[in-house]
Structure 1
Amino acid sequence: MPPKIRFRPLDGLLLLDKPQGLSSNAALQAARRLFRAEKGGHTGSLDPLATGLLPLCFGEATKIAGLLLGSRKAYETTAVLGVTTDTDDADGAVLRERPVPTLAPADLETALAPLRGSIRQRAPIYSALKQGGEPLYAKARRGEAIEAPEREVEVHAIEVLAAEGDRIRLRVECGSGTYVRSLVRDLGEALGCGAHVAELRRLWVEPFLAPRMYTLEALDALAGAGEAALLGALLPVEAGLAGFPRRDLDADGARRFGMGQRLRGQGEPAEMVAVHGPGGRVLGLGSVDGEGLLVPQRLFSWAVRNAPSAARPKH
């Protein structure tokens, strides 16, 4: 029997290069065991078939996981034309095969144009979206008839990188909730032959536009080299907030913010700001109203610990 892992409090972000064939949660748990982190979460699932960037949050960083979930993302994918599957990717059962027409670049552009911008997209039936409190994939596995929901999503860019025979390589930049599998499925239908995803890799997630990613094998090697080497792979919580407007407080302002007090004179209105104290450490998140009033929304534990105990807010 392997020795029991002694988990510990640990705060930070890890940019994991998820391997193919592993679910996002399984990848998270593998990394969490390596770091012995008590608490962990990810910022939006990658399909088991997919590889690439999966930002993981440990400890206090889990408080910003939901913010990263809504971030802009970029992918590269290889679509196979002429074959549709029940999962819209290569992991699924083949539903139909059709001949692939000869396609000119103009044909591809005509089919891609309606997939850009704000579009209505139907999710794959094998997806984690919930219906009646249950993931769609659970219903699909039982063979239930499913009407997958349509949602409005944002596709900022979709371009052809290469096209040869029945394979097309695409680059996609999109907003939260967009399924690349659905884009490929809809592209195939527009071309009259159907399509599915054969390969999918996530390149970046804002604000990590040029991410230094670590594979599980690389992390295992770092763990073997010692604690300091492994912890060197973590990013501070501040790294996940780089895209938000910043407000800096002096020592008194930081103390009051940690007590949950509102602070005046904090500049232009903003729906969400990252609030930093002396020395640059992030204290939490807040909003600034039209009168320049900073309202605490989410505090990190170290901001609360530095506030007088009698006045500490509950977060």
Structure 2
Amino acid sequence: MGRKRKGRDISGILLLDKPPGRTSNSAMVVCRAIYNAAKAGHTGALDPLATGVLPVCFGEATKFSQYLLDADKAYRSTFVFGQQTNTADADGEVIAEADASDLTEALLNERIADFRGDIEQVPPMYSALKKDGRPLYELARKGIEIERQARPVTIYEYELEHFEPGVQAKAVVRVRCSKGTYIRSLAEDLGQQLGVGAHVATLRRIAAGPFTEQGVVSLDVLQQLRDAEDFAGLDTLLIPVEQALGHLPAIHLGDSAAHFLRQGQAVFHPGAGQSGTTTLFDHQGRFMGIGEILDDFRVKPRRLIANM
């Protein structure tokens, strides 16, 4: 029999405004402590320098965190041209400098267009990707660089919002992209193409899947509620997990079908006309979990919540 986790048995998604200077994991740990939650996890790492939308899942919501990990993301970032760092962001050491005063807004827009659509991107050495079980950043800190395979990513939007010319020119860009995209690599590759080098000075995630920065809550606000022991106020900030899955089709099951599906059995549903992943709701409209539509109009459970 497994050991019961300590803490409150709560479920839902918190949209944290991750502060700068923290890893995503450390921010999640603080949230878990503030909520005194039995179980928590985050949904995709942000660089310590980065701020913005970090969905933190509690309880049963952690079962579905992969869907937010796989979701598209959007960012606003400041690129500095004429200065290259070893981490491709402002936290690293400057390793090369160049005069970027000839850079113009027109030229920048022209080169940015080359990076829209389906592209190949080499992950940076200072990343959480693992080689033989070790994060690449651990190797990078020891001065070890290994060959990385380019990976396909999709850049849906890449727009220049503001340009400031100079020896170290600055550009504010907005990017909407597929999972696994490194904004630092976008900056570095753009700077390399322009021949002056570049790095990320600021980075903010403004959307993750269906969630935007309009709904985020800071650690300071959470701590104030915790200091007041206002757990009810904290809990009202949690979003039902099904809101993260609104892009999936939904199936509502009758009482009998819902019962057998909870037992792990595939059930017939006349509305299940095409194969694929679906959200499942019982006859009272309560979220049950994720299912898979089979070719024969049956639905089988894939991942169900336990507290029903």
Quick check: TM above 0.5? yes
Q: CA deviation at 1:115?
A: 1.0
Q: The residue matched to 2:256 in structure 1 has which SS?
A: helix
> Structure 1 residue 131 and structure 2 residue 131: aligned?
yes
Q: CA deviation at 1:111?
A: 1.2
Q: The residue matched to 1:302 in structure 2 has which SS?
A: coil
Please tell me whether the aligned partners of residues 266 and 294 of structure 1 are also in contact (alpha carbons under 8 angstroms): no
Q: Which moved more, 1:258-267 or 1:68-77?
A: 258-267
Aligned to 2:85: 85
Q: The residue matched to 2:80 in structure 1 has which SS?
A: strand
Q: The residue matched to 2:154 in structure 1 has which SS?
A: strand
Q: CA deviation at 1:210?
A: 6.0
Whole-angstrom distance in 2 between the partners of 1:279 and 1:102: 64
Whole-angstrom distance in 2 between the partners of 1:126 and 1:145: 10
Letter in 2 for 1:261: Q
Judged with a 3 Å threshold, the aligned counterparts in structure 2 of structure 1 residues 177 and 124 are, in CA distance, closer, same or farther, namely same
> Structure 1 residue 288 and structure 2 residue 285: aligned?
no
Superposition TM-score, scaled by structure 1 size: 0.91
Q: The residue matched to 1:214 in structure 2 has which SS?
A: coil
Q: CA deviation at 1:6?
A: 5.6
Q: CA deviation at 1:289?
A: 2.2
Letter in 2 for 1:109: N
> Structure 1 residue 300 and structure 2 residue 302: aligned?
no
Q: CA deviation at 1:114?
A: 1.9
Aligned to 1:275: 280
Judged with a 3 Å threshold, the aligned counterparts in structure 2 of structure 1 residues 247 and 18 are, in CA distance, closer, same or farther, namely same
> Structure 1 residue 194 and structure 2 residue 200: aligned?
no
Structure 2: tracts of 5 or more residues without a match: none
Map of 1:101-112 to 2, 5 A cutoff? Answer: 101-112=101-112
Aligned to 1:228: 232
Deviations 1:60-86 (A, max 9, x none): 100111111010111000000001111
Q: The residue matched to 2:205 in structure 1 has which SS?
A: strand
Whole-angstrom distance in 2 between the partners of 1:290 and 1:211: 40
1:213 corresponds to which of 213, 216, 232? 216
Deviations 1:99-145 (A, max 9, x none): 10423333112211221111000111100011122110011112113
Letter in 1 for 2:239: L
Aligned to 2:267: 263
Identity within the alignment, %: 42
Q: CA deviation at 1:297?
A: 0.8
Aligned to 1:168: 171
Aligned to 1:17: 17
Please tell me whether the aligned partners of residues 266 and 288 of structure 1 are also in contact (alpha carbons under 8 angstroms): no
Letter in 1 for 2:201: A
Q: The residue matched to 2:276 in structure 1 has which SS?
A: strand
Q: What do you get for the CA RMSD once the two structures are aligned? A: 1.5
Judged with a 3 Å threshold, the aligned counterparts in structure 2 of structure 1 residues 46 and 286 are, in CA distance, closer, same or farther, namely same
Please tell me whether the aligned partners of residues 85 and 95 of structure 2 are also in contact (alpha carbons under 8 angstroms): yes
Aligned to 2:120: 120
Q: Which moved more, 1:139-148 or 1:35-44?
A: 139-148
Whole-angstrom distance in 2 between the partners of 1:279 and 1:149: 49
Aligned to 1:53: 53
Please tell me whether the aligned partners of residues 14 and 56 of structure 1 are also in contact (alpha carbons under 8 angstroms): yes
Please tell me whether the aligned partners of residues 15 and 211 of structure 1 are also in contact (alpha carbons under 8 angstroms): no
Whole-angstrom distance in 2 between the partners of 1:233 and 1:298: 24
Whole-angstrom distance in 2 between the partners of 1:145 and 1:234: 41
Whole-angstrom distance in 1 between the partners of 2:195 and 2:241: 47
Q: How many residues align?
A: 299
Letter in 1 for 2:97: E
Superposition TM-score, scaled by structure 2 size: 0.93
Q: Which moved more, 1:28-37 or 1:225-234?
A: 225-234
